[in-house]
């Protein structure tokens, strides 16, 4: 039904900043503090949207267009992702490839916007962001290749429908390994500990925060919103294999959203218990994710 598709997409677009709030609250609770209000991200987006932007003299229209384009591309990706088995608004055969390319496009536009400001800090952040891309894109491509091969469907909605709750079925080895691999991808793409600490603002150690150092006002609001959307998208794909299907579409939607916030709490716990790794250890994480996906592929081929 069309209404359910629009409903679950709008749920994604609206609730993504709440994930950030949940992660911050979990971190504060684990540190013995009360922490920010859950809706803090929404207050910040509203505050930034009211302000005017300050642009460096070296920046051109690429910066302004780039931020709007990043938010638009990631909103499209959110419209494609099925929460709780309901297909998204944008869904067609072969849209798995379109999804991967949309995420890659978002990364390229972020980097271009950062480079356009002409500051060396953003250049450093851009090179680190591309390093993360080099490490995570083989894992992304292989994950979707394994999913497509495993379920013999080529559309993201159908793949997620077929693998829903697969971690509790007889195909659990492949499902659990893919869950772990997508969790690693979530940490790498959303820039969470151990890849990048979102709380640090020392230029030498930032990755994502440093690219948006010269963005201000509405541009900064769009980049923060896009970042939250990226986290939402990967959490939905991650939790899809673990949350079983319940029958009614609204029950599945509620369980799917609950699963996503469960993932947010897990990310918060990991962030509170680990420190960020040195940058030269990032290939270790990439290799670990790649090994998990390849394991899933081998086990799927052996069994199937």
Query: Where do contacts with another protein occur on this chain (CB under 8 A)?
Result: 173, 176-177, 283-284, 286-288, 290-291, 294-295, 298-299, 301-303
| Phi/psi-derived region of residue 87, left when phi > 0, alpha when psi is between -120 and 50, beta in every other case | beta
Q: Give the N- to C-terminal CA distance of the chain in Å, as an integer.
A: 33
* Min dist. Cβ of residue 103 to another protein (A): 23
Q: How far is the CB of 293 from another protein (least distance, A)?
A: 9
Q: What DSSP state is assigned to residue 213?
A: T
Q: By C-alpha distance, which of 234, 238, 236, 235 is closest to 175? A: 238
Measuring CA to CA, which residue among 303, 73, 66 is closest to residue 171?
303
* Cα distance between residue 33 and residue 68, in whole Å: 36
Please identify, using beta-carbon distances, which residue of 102 and 180 lies nearer to another protein: 180
Task: Name the minimum Å distance from CB 137 to another protein.
Answer: 16
CB 109 within 8 A of CB 70: yes
- Closer residue to another protein (CB): 58 or 274: 274
CA distance readout (Å), 188 to 86, 136, 292: 26, 7, 15
Cα angle: 60, vertex 66, 71; to 5 degrees:
150
Return the number of the residue (47 or 303) whose C-beta is nearest another protein: 303
Residue 241, SS3 per DSSP: coil
What is the smallest separation between the CB atom of 204 and another protein, expressed in angstroms?
Answer: 24
DSSP structural state of residue 281: G
Give the span between the Cα atoms of 227 and 103, in whole angstroms. 11
38 vs 299, beta carbon nearer another protein: 299
Residue 39 Cβ, how far from another protein at the closest point, in Å?
40
Distances (CA, A) of 15 to 105, 162, 232: 23, 25, 8
In angstroms, what is the minimal distance from the CB of 273 to another protein?
18
CB nearer to another protein: give 266 or 288. Answer: 288
Shortest Å, Cβ 216 to another protein: 38
Closer to another protein at the Cβ: 136 or 235? 136
């Amino acid at each position: 039904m069309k209404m359910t598709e629009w409903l679950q997409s709008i749920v994604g677009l609206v609730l993504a900043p709440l994930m950030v709030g949940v992660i911050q609250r979990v971190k504060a609770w684990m540190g013995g503090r009360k922490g920010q209000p859950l809706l803090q991200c929404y207050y910040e987006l509203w505050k930034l949207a009211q302000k005017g932007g300050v642009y460096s003299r070296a920046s051109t229209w690429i910066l302004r267009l780039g931020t709007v384009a990043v938010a638009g591309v990631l909103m499209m990706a959110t419209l494609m992702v099925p929460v709780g088995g309901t297909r998204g608004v944008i869904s067609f055969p072969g849209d798995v490839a379109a999804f991967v390319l949309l995420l890659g496009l978002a990364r390229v536009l972020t980097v271009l916007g950062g480079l356009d400001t002409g500051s060396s800090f953003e250049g450093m952040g851009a090179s680190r962001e591309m390093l993360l891309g080099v490490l995570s894109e083989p894992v992304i491509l292989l994950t979707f290749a394994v999913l497509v091969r495993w379920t013999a469907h080529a559309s993201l909605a159908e793949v997620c429908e077929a693998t829903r709750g697969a971690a509790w079925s007889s195909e659990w080895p492949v499902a659990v390994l893919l869950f772990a691999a997508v969790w690693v991808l979530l940490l790498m793409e959303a820039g969470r500990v151990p890849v990048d600490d979102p709380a640090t603002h020392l230029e030498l150690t930032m990755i994502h925060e440093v690219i948006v150092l010269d963005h201000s006002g509405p541009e900064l609001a769009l980049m923060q919103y896009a970042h939250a959307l990226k986290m939402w998208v990967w959490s939905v794909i991650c939790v899809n294999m673990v949350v079983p299907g319940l029958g009614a579409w609204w029950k599945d939607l509620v369980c799917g959203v609950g699963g996503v916030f469960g993932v947010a709490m897990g990310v918060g716990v990991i962030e509170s218990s680990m420190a960020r790794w040195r940058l030269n250890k990032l290939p270790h994480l990439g290799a670990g994710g790649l090994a998990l996906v390849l394991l899933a592929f081998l086990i799927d081929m052996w069994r199937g």
